[in-house]
């Protein structure tokens, strides 16, 4: 069985150390394909998605070894240029091997990811951009096949929408092209700048990553050397702990969190009544009273991340007053709301808006984790509920949160997996 049992009522308190950013580490691992030799990515979270990315790389003939939080990727030779459906199906982010694989090998065949519980996940922007770089692209038998036998050439690409994955795929391809590429209306998420930092350390020339115009001076496919790079802290995990502090009226110090990546979220939590302090090495979030309602709107960075939407909703489900949430990034990211309703939340959705009437207390119920962040929302809701909530499909949480039960337990939550008690760790060793 695949369940997390969470008993509500505890006010979470203490220090938790945030892990490396899933959504940067996955791309760092893919970028390692560009350089023959052994690259090492540090601060990689030990989560299912990173394991799956390792499997994708191994399928390409690239050995991947783990030592603590360091992943060593030996891309000396590639023996395949295909990412199979079986792996892509389990993790859509596998699509980011398309750009570096095409750049390095002149050919890539990657299974089409398909949709999921948060929306249809098209890759048209990835494909159009790579075609602008000179790749010949077709889809056949459920795969996207890209070829550039004579290499890629620089181009001006204006994205219709600042897609994170498309920006990264194009950046990882364009670094190896001949000539200059400009990506306009690029995604500005902090992870993009972190991926660019690794590429630059590898020998690429990239300017403007983290802004909406990225300029890449292509250095050709033979210019890359292996690197060592440490992944940035996970801002979504940081925000999850911040919201958990607010929902449970707790006091959590999030060690390693970058407050500058969390401006809007922390502002919303302060509006809900939280006291937010920057510490030497992170952020401390305290909530004395029941949170008050706040409205929020998700947007590409620097807007409020869509990944925070379920997490904030769970906290606002027990707020005083009525909040309005607007989801602008993924078309069906409210599906999990039915699960919150099963716990007594008073939430109505209409298109991409949700109206959340805060209730005094949620009530424990059997629920499901529909995706990573919906799963985190269920955990937060369960922490505020009376009784023990059973969260099924917890593998979604394992995809994105490292050591979740141990971290929760360290903060005073009562959590068990499949009825087995979690070993309480030495707080001094807590990360
Ligand atoms: N889109 C298109 N065409 C494309 C690409 C995207 O229409 O070719 C649309 C999508 O359908 C969606 C929107 O653009 O409506 C945003 O998608 P984007 O490409 O920016 O997202 P992504 O790269 O697929 C990453 C994160 C997500 C996060 C989003 C938005 C990774 C592995 N995933 O996805 O993280 O929600 O950016 O910030 O980096 C998570 O961690 O739980 C998660 C879902």
Q: How far is the CA of 329 from the centre of ligand 1 (A)?
A: 8
pTM (2 d.p.) = 0.96
The stretches of 157-208 forming alpha helices (DSSP H) are 164-174, 190-201
Atom index in ligand 1 nearest the CA of residue 119 equals 11
Report the nearest-CA residue for atom 12 of ligand 1.
Answer: 330
What was the pLDDT predicted at 389? Answer: 97
Q: How far is the CA of 164 from the centre of ligand 1 (A)?
A: 6
Closest CA to 315 of 272, 373, 375: 272
Atom index in ligand 1 nearest the CA of residue 236 equals 41
**Distance between CA atoms of 373 and 397, rounded to whole angstroms?**
8
What tens digit of pLDDT does each residue of 159-183 get? 999 999 999 999 999 999 999 999 9
Residue 155 pLDDT greater than 70, yes or no:
yes
Residue 419 pLDDT greater than 50, yes or no:
yes
What was the pLDDT predicted at 370? Answer: 95
What was the pLDDT predicted at 427? Answer: 39
Across the range 131-135, mean pLDDT stands at 98
Across the range 246-260, mean pLDDT stands at 98
**Distance between CA atoms of 8 and 343, rounded to whole angstroms?**
12
Atom index in ligand 1 nearest the CA of residue 124 equals 8
Across the range 136-163, mean pLDDT stands at 97
Confidence band, pLDDT 50/70/90 cuts, at residue 247: very high
Lookup result for tokens 């306009």: 184
Q: How far is the CA of 88 from the centre of ligand 1 (A)?
A: 15
Report the nearest-CA residue for atom 20 of ligand 1.
Answer: 163
Q: How far is the CA of 163 from the centre of ligand 1 (A)?
A: 6
Contact in structure between 287 and 246 (CB atoms under 8 Å): yes
Report the nearest-CA residue for atom 36 of ligand 1.
Answer: 307
Confidence band, pLDDT 50/70/90 cuts, at residue 131: very high
Q: How far is the CA of 421 from the centre of ligand 1 (A)?
A: 36
User: How far lies 25's CA from each of 80, 93, 119, 173, in Å?
Assistant: 22, 11, 23, 18
Best of 95, 126, 163, 304 for a ligand 1 pocket test (most atoms within 8 Å of beta carbon): 163
Q: Which of 2, 116, 295, 338 does the annotation list as catalytic?
A: 116
What was the pLDDT predicted at 418? Answer: 81
Q: How far is the CA of 400 from the centre of ligand 1 (A)?
A: 15
Report the nearest-CA residue for atom 26 of ligand 1.
Answer: 23
What was the pLDDT predicted at 422? Answer: 45
For 183, phi and psi rounded to 5 degrees?
Answer: -105, 115
Contact in structure between 155 and 178 (CB atoms under 8 Å): no
Contact in structure between 6 and 414 (CB atoms under 8 Å): yes
What was the pLDDT predicted at 1? Answer: 56
Contact in structure between 204 and 160 (CB atoms under 8 Å): no
184 catalytic residue (yes or no): no
Q: How buried is residue 420: exposed, middle or buried, by Cβ count under 10 Å (0-12/13-18/19+)?
A: exposed
Q: What angle do CA 57, 61, 66 make, to 5 degrees?
A: 50
In sequence order, which residues have a C-beta less than 8 Å from that of residue 255 and are 6 or more positions away? 15, 16, 17, 18, 279, 281, 282
Q: How far is the CA of 53 from the centre of ligand 1 (A)?
A: 17
Closest CA to 276 of 303, 304, 226, 241: 241
Residue 78 pLDDT greater than 60, yes or no:
yes
Best of 45, 165, 212, 404 for a ligand 1 pocket test (most atoms within 8 Å of beta carbon): 165
What was the pLDDT predicted at 421? Answer: 44
For residue 150, give the DSSP letter. Answer: T
Residue 431 pLDDT greater than 50, yes or no:
no
Average pLDDT for the chain: 95
What tens digit of pLDDT does each residue of 318-328 get? 999 999 999 99
Atom index in ligand 1 nearest the CA of residue 305 equals 38
Confidence band, pLDDT 50/70/90 cuts, at residue 114: confident
Ligand 1 pocket, CB under 6 A: 22-23, 26, 93, 119, 121-126, 161, 163-166, 187, 236, 305-307, 329-330, 372-373, 400
Report the nearest-CA residue for atom 7 of ligand 1.
Answer: 122
Atom index in ligand 1 nearest the CA of residue 128 equals 8
Q: How far is the CA of 383 from the centre of ligand 1 (A)?
A: 28
Across the range 297-319, mean pLDDT stands at 98
For 224, phi and psi rounded to 5 degrees?
Answer: -95, 145
What was the pLDDT predicted at 430? Answer: 40
Across the range 270-284, mean pLDDT stands at 97
Q: Is the dihedral of CA 237, 242, 246, 249 positive or negative?
A: positive
Report the nearest-CA residue for atom 39 of ligand 1.
Answer: 23
Best of 164, 190, 238, 302 for a ligand 1 pocket test (most atoms within 8 Å of beta carbon): 164
What was the pLDDT predicted at 116? Answer: 73
Report the nearest-CA residue for atom 23 of ligand 1.
Answer: 165
What was the pLDDT predicted at 296? Answer: 98
- Residues β-bridged to residue 353: 326, 350
Report the nearest-CA residue for atom 25 of ligand 1.
Answer: 164
Confidence band, pLDDT 50/70/90 cuts, at residue 120: confident
């Amino acid at each position: 069985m695949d369940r997390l049992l969470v008993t509500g009522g505890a006010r979470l308190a203490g220090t938790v150390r945030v892990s490396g950013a899933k959504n940067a580490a996955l791309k760092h691992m893919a970028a390692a394909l560009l350089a023959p030799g052994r690259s090492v990515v540090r601060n990689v979270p030990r989560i299912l998605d990173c394991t799956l990315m390792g499997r994708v790389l191994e399928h390409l003939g690239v050995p991947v070894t783990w030592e603590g939080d360091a992943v060593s990727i030996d891309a000396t030779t590639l023996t395949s240029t295909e990412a199979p459906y079986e792996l892509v199906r389990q993790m859509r982010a596998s699509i980011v091997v398309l750009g570096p694989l095409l750049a390095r090998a002149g050919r890539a065949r990657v299974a089409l990811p398909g949709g999921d519980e948060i929306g249809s996940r098209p890759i048209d922007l990835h494909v159009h951009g790579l075609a602008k770089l000179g790749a010949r692209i077709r889809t056949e038998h459920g795969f996207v096949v890209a070829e550039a036998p004579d290499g890629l050439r620089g181009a001006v690409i204006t994205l219709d929408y600042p897609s994170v994955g498309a920006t990264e795929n194009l950046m990882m391809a364009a670094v190896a092209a001949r000539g200059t590429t400009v990506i306009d209306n690029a995604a500005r998420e902090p992870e993009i700048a972190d991926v660019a930092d690794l590429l630059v350390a590898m020998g690429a020339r990239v300017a403007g990553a983290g802004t909406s115009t990225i300029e890449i001076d292509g250095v050709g496919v033979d210019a890359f050397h292996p690197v060592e790079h440490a992944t940035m802290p996970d801002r979504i995990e940081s925000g999850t702990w911040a919201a958990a502090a607010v929902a449970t009226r707790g006091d959590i110090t999030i060690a390693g969190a970058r407050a500058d990546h969390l401006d809007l979220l922390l502002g919303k939590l302060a509006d809900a009544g939280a006291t937010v302090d920057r510490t030497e090495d992170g952020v401390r979030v305290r909530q004395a009273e029941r949170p008050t309602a706040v409205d929020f709107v998700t947007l590409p960075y620097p807007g409020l991340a869509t990944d925070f939407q379920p997490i904030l909703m769970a906290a606002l489900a027990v707020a005083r007053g009525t909040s309005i949430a607007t989801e602008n990034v993924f078309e069906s990211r409210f599906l999990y709301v039915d699960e919150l309703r099963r716990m007594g939340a008073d939430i109505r959705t209409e298109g991409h808006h949700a109206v959340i009437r805060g209730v005094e207390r949620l009530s424990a119920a059997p629920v499901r984790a529909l995706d990573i962040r919906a799963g985190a929302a269920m955990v937060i809701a369960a922490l505020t509920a009376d009784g023990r909530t059973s969260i099924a499909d917890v593998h979604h949480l394992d995809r994105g949160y490292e050591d979740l039960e141990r971290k929760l337990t360290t903060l005073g939550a009562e959590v068990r997996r499949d009825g087995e008690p979690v070993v309480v760790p030495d707080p001094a060793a807590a990360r």
